[in-house]
Amino acid sequence: MRYGYFDEKAREYVITRPDTPTPWINYIGNGKYGGIVTNTGGGYSFHKDPQNRRITRYRYNNLPTDRPGRYIYVRDRLTGEYWNPGYQPVQRKLDSYRCRHGMGYTVLEGEYKGIAADVTYFVPDDRDFEIWLVQIRNLCHVERNLQVFSYAEFCFWDAIMDQQNVDWVQQINQGRYEDRLITWHPHHFKDACAFFATNAEINSFDTNLEAFIGRYRCESNPIAVETGACSNSVSYRMNGVGAFCIDVNLKPGEEREIIFILGFTENKSTIRDEIRDYLNVEYAKEALKRLKDSWEEYLDKLQIETPDRETNLFVNTWNQYQCKITFNWSRFVSMYSWGLGRGIGIRDSAQDTLGVMHSIPELAGGLIKRLIHCQYTDGRVYHLFFPLTGEGGIGDAPVVKFDWYSDDHLWLPIAANAYLKETANFDFFQSVVPYNDNKTEGTVWEHLNRAMEFTYNHRGPHALPYSRADWNDTLNLDMGNGIAETLFTSMLFSEPPLKRFRCRISDKRIATKYRYWYDEMKQAINEWCWDGEWYIRAFDDEGNVLGSGKNRYGKIFINSQSWAVLSMVAPEEYAKKCLESVYRHLNTKYGIVKVYPAYPEYNPKIGGMTTYPPGAKENGGIFAHTNPWVMIAECMMGNGRRAYQYYRQILPLTRNDDADLLEVEPYVYCQNILGKEHPQFGIGRNSWLTGTAAWNMVAVSQYILGIRPEYDGLTVDPCIPPDWKGFKVRRIFRGCVYNIEVRNPEGVRRCEKNCRRGVETDKIPVKPAGTVCECVVIMG
């Protein structure tokens, strides 16, 4: 069954039925004020930090599902019937329904008995508020007397406290009304407040939720809507709502437009000035146009034209869009992480910068510095931090608790390296950033070196990094003996400054040290970790091997194979063999599973991953984030056909017609899909905020199409399926527009003289900013 389609021209995904298998969402806002909007109007809003400054509520794990949201009710005064253009919460069957998720905005369109009502949600000009633009038309031949009601359910700003200390929260909440403006704030805050406003003449209002809903009722049958008037309630305690009732009489063919604004301010007295312009419909529409233009500008940095329309659609629009959303919110706030407890992940956000580096390198550089600020003086980093308060820590990992992850700090050099390749701004190394205690500081270069040193200084009996947990949060081997070791982190350690930066290090002593460290790690990996057909995954805290053919379960893990190639520690023969083993043992039609065979039951010596049943998440699920690493490795080995096969396997839109099985949105990557050992093989979960977005962007643009930024130019090193006759890429790099056409007349899979593993690649030199560079590459 399909629930929608891609409108390529409008860059929208259009949902045509409201009963999607899970709420299919979109994000509004640019990373400051923002929110989640579902296809039936559900969702919530927040300002800078969804844990510490939540604006509206969402009921987690709730039935009925996906409540509450940003609701508009339309009521016919003659019959008393009422409905929502987005179907929820009244759930009256509409004569027609559409939800259009676009770049930074969502439109809900519902028609019922001759009344067409649309509502567009967006955040204008990166302001601290959102607009709901309602358009309501009478399609009948008779005049219609209608009413429009709004509903925004306020949340106490501390979203955890909102659930925990109900007594306190309900005693201090205050809602006030004055001239079409509702304000909402805790009693002890005098200036800061959330607010809700409209441009329309109102019939009545409510600021008190209980008054609007009525006793033993809910969002689907509020007493105010049912009776056709709010009660002008002032809220001295309890719960709050932004509710207006507006009378709308429409002659045949007539249309009316209404604006609602929901937002947050630090200074109550400035609200009216802040929103005045935006209460004007024409001004609001112009702001929507500006928003669309800004997304076009963002996407314009990279546009491709390949023989595969679906790849084009994804790279040109949806994958890039998702990369920006992950850049904004890390893994903090989605339908799976509800903006509680998680914060901005250091490892996650460092990887997220890779997906937007080509389009917004300066913002990416800024985020990298913010992540670097999370570093302890000994070189490790917080696991996550909260953007509003700056507080950081290890987070809320279930089951097993530990004080640092072996890999978090090592993603910083990788991100910094990507920034330098995009910008060549080597002064970045010299910028000074405080350590997380704010008492000491160091240059970026010093920070990155401390990250490397921390790992080098924390190694186990095989000279490999200790493991509490690594990229795989749930592989928790440390039982207190301090000898568990991780191969993944060993390989990650071998990837960045060690190889990449050394060409830029003028200090010969440091360069020699890094070369020595790299050789030492490479030797340890190949001496202790080659299992015959693939690399093992780890040593547990008793010195036993995980990820060996000799193990009964968990014989082969994906990451030690892909990263053996990415880090270039594997000799060619091993590299070929281990990738072949991935194909043979781990590949499925929906993607490559993370480990096989999965562990059948909980094993405290392995930790969190064995809390999952076989085939789920890290225990044998298709953890999509890991798949592009295999694509990249295949490209590095020259296997374009296989890299592309892996790319297509997890391309979400290929499952648009299979949505009842996939369940999650077909327009963005999800984090995980249940694997072949699970009875529900193929179901996706945890859509939107996943490293899958950034790494697929890297895999397809830099390795399959092969357009890679380097310190001194743009490499063109495609590794494509041999039946592609060529492709075009428009890439803006350091201010110059590169129009690159790659032709493949002989049907080869890569340019012969290009080879990632050692040999020189073709490079277009850096051209002056403001120029256009036309470039044709003939493969073969």
Which residues carry out catalysis?
Answer: 473
Task: Report residue 28 as tokens.
Answer: 């509004």
Would you say 21 and 2 are in contact if contact means Cβ atoms under 8 Å apart?
Answer: no
The nearer residue to ligand NOJ, 467 or 754, going by C-beta atoms, is 467
The nearer residue to ligand NOJ, 138 or 474, going by C-beta atoms, is 474
Task: Report residue 769 as tokens.
Answer: 């900013």
Would you say 154 and 184 are in contact if contact means Cβ atoms under 8 Å apart?
Answer: yes
Would you say 541 and 468 are in contact if contact means Cβ atoms under 8 Å apart?
Answer: no
Length of the chain: 780
Q: Which helix (H) or strand (E) holds 208?
A: strand 204-208
The nearer residue to ligand NOJ, 133 or 632, going by C-beta atoms, is 632
The nearer residue to ligand NOJ, 410 or 719, going by C-beta atoms, is 410
Rounded distance between C-alpha atoms, residue 81 and residue 649, angstroms: 47
Angle at alpha carbon of residue 511, lines to 505 and 516, rounded to 5°: 155
Binding residues for ligand NOJ (CB under 6 A): 331, 345, 347-348, 471-474, 618
Q: Distances in Å between the alpha carbon of 727 and those of 346, 701, 767, 776?
A: 36, 12, 22, 10
Closest residue to ligand NOJ, Cβ-based? 473
Q: Which helix (H) or strand (E) holds 55?
A: none
Q: Is 224 helix (H, G, I), strand (E, B) or coil?
A: helix
DSSP 318: I
Would you say 553 and 598 are in contact if contact means Cβ atoms under 8 Å apart?
Answer: yes
Output Rg (C-alpha) for the chain, integer angstroms: 27
CB of 674 to ligand NOJ, least distance (A): 16
Select from 416, 513, 512 the least CA-distant residue to 457: 513
The nearer residue to ligand NOJ, 473 or 495, going by C-beta atoms, is 473
Select from 345, 355, 310 the least CA-distant residue to 695: 355
Cβ neighbours for 541, distance < 8 A, ≥ 6 positions apart: 477, 478, 479, 480, 481, 482, 483, 484, 605
The nearer residue to ligand NOJ, 347 or 409, going by C-beta atoms, is 347
Q: Is the dihedral of CA 137, 139, 142, 147 positive or negative?
A: negative
Would you say 84 and 41 are in contact if contact means Cβ atoms under 8 Å apart?
Answer: yes
Rounded distance between C-alpha atoms, residue 290 and residue 84, angstroms: 28
CB of 170 to ligand NOJ, least distance (A): 34
CB of 690 to ligand NOJ, least distance (A): 7
The nearer residue to ligand NOJ, 375 or 474, going by C-beta atoms, is 474
CB of 57 to ligand NOJ, least distance (A): 25
CB of 554 to ligand NOJ, least distance (A): 15
CB of 78 to ligand NOJ, least distance (A): 53
CB of 472 to ligand NOJ, least distance (A): 5
The nearer residue to ligand NOJ, 339 or 718, going by C-beta atoms, is 339
Residue 74, strand partner residues: 83, 148
Would you say 355 and 323 are in contact if contact means Cβ atoms under 8 Å apart?
Answer: yes
CB of 376 to ligand NOJ, least distance (A): 19
Helix and strand numbers, DSSP H then E, in the chain: 21, 40
